[in-house]
Every structure is written in structure tokens, then in C-alpha cells.
A and B are shown apart, each in its own frame.
Chain A
């Protein structure tokens, strides 16, 4: 589904991603871990099409198409979803209104009829139940004054509404309380199918207890320096990153 080859990207001339290679197939869950500042959010942003990041080398094929050639909105319409590490506030725009605009643009791109208000509402109800989000939250301005956990839950609610093929969750677990973590993870699991894939960026094993990864990758200094199965995450939880950093740093010197 997703094939990243030798991806390099920089911000204002500073290279951040320095040769990422990653293959994600339909039905898979990939976890990306790594120390702060290693480039995890950057990778997510580059895949989603954020303009500040300049791709200097490499290619990304998503469902047979050149992802990097597409406008950010078209990537979304093709099925790429990014649950933001820091969701943005939009004053005066309710989640409901926002999502209706989004969903209908996505549907139009896919050649589907726009949903009328009644159908949209019933879809909302269904997805709200999935992530146990409160209706009241959705009639408020998007993310404005939401608690950290509420913002994250709202991201997954949006994901549920838009039914993406590739979901990238950037530290969705941070800010969630213990119950919310379980609820949100269950939501993500229910949305999984053999047609979709998920990339979870996280620092903690506890999320991976719920969303069990097929592969775990460690990102360090803009490269994937180690890949393994879910046991790798357990090992990291226990030992930290120092041993990997040492391995990498001594090899490059």
C-alpha cells in the first residue's frame, strides 16, 4: 500500500529525514518509535504534504500513485489520515460543520453523492459511539478549549468519520487517561481491516498493548535504524534508546 524509498526531507535547509525506507502492506500495523527530535512527526508531516518540509530526495508510492506529487487535500481524499500530535484549534467552526465539509469533499473526490444532513447525523452518531465522544464536544468550536485528551479523542473520531486507508497516529496516546487510552485504542482496532493500514508513532509500550503492531521501527537522526516485531518495543521499554544510539553512532564514526 505504502512504499517509502530513500526519503530525504529538510526544513529551512536543515536535513531532518535522511533516507527513510519503509514498506507498509494492507492489513498491517507499524509502530514507529524513537527519541525526541528524531524525525517521527516530520515523517508524518511529509507524508501528509506539509509545505514547510522540502523533500530533497526519494519517492513515496501510495496505492500505486506518486504520493509526493499530490496536493495535501488530495492525499487525504485518497485515504491518508494524520491524527496530529498537536491538533489545531479553529474558532467559530464546530466539529460538526468542519467534518461535514471535509466528508463531502472527500466523497465528491471519490465520485460519491454528498451526504444530506440526516444521513450525516446518523453516521456521526454511529462513529461517536465507537470512540465514546460526547455530542456536546462536537457542537463546540473545533478543538478550542478542548483538554489534551479531548483533542486526541476528537482526532480518532474524525478518523472514524473519514474512513481512511492509511492512518498515521502521531502520539495519539499522549494526554489520554487510562480509560480513554483503552477506548480510543479499541476504536482504532475496530476501524482496522485487511484493506487498511496503520502507522502508530508512540513513545510507550502501553499503547502497543492495545494496538498490537506487526512491526516496530526505531527512528534515529532521520533514519530507521532498527526494525523488528512487537518484542522490540518491549526491549526498548526496558533498556531505553542508548544501546541503539551507541550502535548507530559508533557505526557512522
Chain B
């Protein structure tokens, strides 16, 4: 074996850091997917009748839908009947404060480096922690409550703010939007809900951590963010899962609603288990994320750092309905080993003078496949719509693939749409230059890749930018000999 291969071997054997699982007693739905299971979930969650009906309607529609096959990914058919659609850690029925949360569950999050203990919390970040199917704890609730901000688990919102949930649920991503969104609508178990009242600037980052722990469980969270007129919120989502041989399905739906002059920043650092280096196991991440800039001068900005999952299928999108509204999408997607990612965005310009900006940085290593798929649509009445798209791909080694699928659909002659794309290879001479200054190859790759992704990483809140940088380096370890 050559020296290079040896180094490569050594480094790729590095394991996924969050690959552990914990045994705790769970309350689970039996495996299978049918109306009874949906009734079971809804009853378990003590849901109102209208929500059960909504779920059942989604389920019946879903039965007639086909799994999409247009994405540039391949995976064996998922047996949806073998999955369990609800798994909750057993604990005291209702927890009013963190003191009542099972210490074992708090320990799980501590192990992930996420402190749910308010005394030791990250400065200025409120956290909602979702384990398997249910939300375990939401910190900072009182502080936020004083401002009229609602930040809680989805189940809680259904109970305490049913009128809000009823009004906005499915308003951005209709239950029948696509196969996975319909599935989610039928069986979603929990997630986060966030409501920012008129004129309120949320003083801290709101953050949700998703963790899949139980085996053979699909995780179907539902996130709903509503920003009323002239409000502002920055929201962060992080995710991990244990290392398992079998694949696990994750099909979330995120909906964002922005009224006039409101601004929502949504950042994701996605680190689901990517499968091992032979491509065994890993999360199938089929997610629908969409925001609507309903009011004039509103703004929605998506930032995502995608490092995990075996297969990713995800297109955070913006419907720019209000005049002068702005949509942004900043993405870094890294794939290594046998990972596959098909990700990008859709910017739909409906209002006048709407603007969108897309910055996508793909990094492929190993035998992975990384696709950017983006759509810019300018409707008839969207005078003076502007879009700028920058799609860069960075290749490491010669066994991986990078693909770009831009779709542009313009129905108004005043539109200005710019698209730039580059593909580059990480340069031997760049690495050698770093080596010559005393920097080891691994660190050189991290440095070069972080430099390449800088424009996107800069969009993240400080703490998470640091976390994301480390994650990028970790994901790419061993990809250059």
C-alpha cells in the first residue's frame, strides 16, 4: 500500500462523532402506516378533532401519490410499513419546567454539547430539543414570553395556540405539496413552533436540536415560524443521529411566514449520520422547507451547512409574494464516501421589485455525488425582479461527482437574472503551499475548504459558524492523501 493510501485509510476510519445511542424506555407506536396508526398518534397527543381530520386527509391524498424519482440520487426502496411512526421517551406526562425533565434525557443533550440547563446555557440562545418524536424541553420560555414570543414544541402550540396553528399549518407547504410533505402531514409527531408578534425583534437566537435515537423510527418533524409585521427572528436547527446499520428516514416540513417588513433568518447545520465509509446505514433526509414573503418588504434568508445524511433531498425555497420582498439561499453541501446530495432552492418571484440571491457551494469527496438543483421563476406581474445565482463546485479526488441543474423560467421582460457557475479541484499546489509553511495536509484541506465556503459560513451566527467549520473539516477528513 502506498503511503498516501495508508494515510487515507487511517483517516477515513475516523468515526461519526455522534454515533452512539442510549437505551431508555419508550412509548412507541407499533410498526406500520395506516389510518389506525394516525388515529393512535393523534390520540396519544390529545389532538383536537380538526387536526386528526387534517392528518387523515393528508394520508388519503398521500396514498395516491408516487415517490418522486427526478432527483439525482439512488437508494433502495424504503419499506414504509416497517417503520414506526411514533417513539417518545417515557417520562412524567407533562413537564412544566426543566427540573421535571428526566435527567437522562438532559444527559443525552449534554453529550451532544447542548446544554438544556438554563444556568449553563449558551449565552442568548433559546433551545427546543426534540428527541425521536417529541420535544423534550424548551429553554428560555419565560424570557421570550414577556415579549409575546411563542417558542415551544409543536404539540404544545396545538394545545395552547390552536387558532395560530390552524391558521398557518399547511399554508406555505400544502399537505398535498409532494410525497414526503404529505407523508409528514399525516404522521408528523412534533417539532418547533415559533411566533413573533408585530414589531418585536427576537433578542436571542432560537434553536432546535433534533436527535433520532430509537431504532426503526422515522422522524417527521414539523416546524412552523410565523413572523408578524416588522418583526425579526433568527432561527437555528441542528441535527444528529446514532450510527446504525439500517437506514433511517427523516422527512421534515418547515414552513415560514413573513408579514410586511418582517425578517426571518433560518440556519441549519445538518449532521445526520451519513452512513459508514462503505456506504452502509445513514439517514435518508427528505425535507420540504419553504417560506413565504407574504408582506411587502419582507425577507427570508436560508443558510444551510449540509454535512450529514446518506441521501439528502432538500430545496429550501422562497415565495416572494410581497412587493420589494427578498429571498436568500446560502448553502454549503459536503459529501464524502458514498453520500448523495441533491439540494438547492426555488425562488418564486410574484411581487414587484423582488430580489433573490443564491450562493451554493458544493464540495464532493470520496465516491460521493453532489447536485445543485435550483429554480428561479419570475411571474408575469413581477416587474423588475432580480436574481443572482452563484453555484460553485469543489471536487476532491476523481471518483466523486458534482452536477448543476439550474432552471430559469421568466415571464416578465423586465427581469434580470444572473447565473454564475464554477467547478474547481482542490489544488495539489495549494496543499503543498500550506505544507511548506508547516501546515499538515488535513488542516490544509480544512483551511482551503473553509475559505471556499466562507461567504456562506459568514451568514451563520458566530457560535455556529465555528461549529460548522469544524464539521466541514471532520466530514472531509481523509479525503486527500
Contact = CB atoms under 8 A, between A and B. Distances in A.
Interface stretch (B163-171, B258-266, B369-377, B426-434): B426-434
A88 B436 CA distance: 11
A76 B438 contact: yes
B437 A162 contact: yes
Given A98-B447, A105-B443, A90 B437 contact: no
Contacts of A52: 428
A88 B452 contact: no
Contacts of A162: 437-438
A6 interface: no
A98 B444 CA distance: 9
Interface in A147-184: 158, 162
A93 B440 contact: no
A90 B447 contact: yes
Nearest to B453: A92
Contact of B440 (A73, A90, A141): A73
Given A93-B448, A98-B447, A88 B430 contact: yes
A77 B436 CA distance: 9
Contacts of B428: 51-52
Contact residue range for chain A? 20 to 34
Given A49-B435, A72-B435, A73-B435, A91 B451 contact: yes
Q: Which of B429, B437, B438 has most chain A Cβ within 10 Å?
A: B438
Contacts of A98: 434, 437, 447
Contacts of A92: 450-455
Contact residue range for chain B? 20 to 34
B450 to A, nearest CB: 7
B434 A102 contact: yes
Contacts of B451: 90-93, 141
A89 B429 CA distance: 9
A64 B476 CA distance: 36
Contacts of B453: 92
A248 interface: no
B440 A105 contact: yes
A226 interface: no
Contacts of B447: 90, 93, 97-98, 101
Contact of A88 (B429, B440, B455): B429
B439 to A, nearest CB: 5
A162 B438 CA distance: 9
Given A92-B452, A92-B454, A93-B448, A73 B433 contact: no
A198 B432 CA distance: 21
Nearest to A49: B435
A123 to B, nearest CB: 15
A105 B438 contact: yes
18 contacts: A50-B432, A72-B432, A72-B436, A73-B441, A75-B436, A76-B435, A76-B436, A76-B437, A76-B438, A87-B433, A91-B451, A92-B452, A92-B454, A93-B454, A105-B439, A105-B443, A158-B437, A162-B437
Closest 6 CB pairs of A and B: A92-B451, A93-B451, A92-B454, A72-B435, A102-B437, A106-B438
Interface of A: 48-52, 71-73, 75-77, 81-82, 84, 87-93, 97-99, 101-103, 105-106, 109, 141, 158, 162
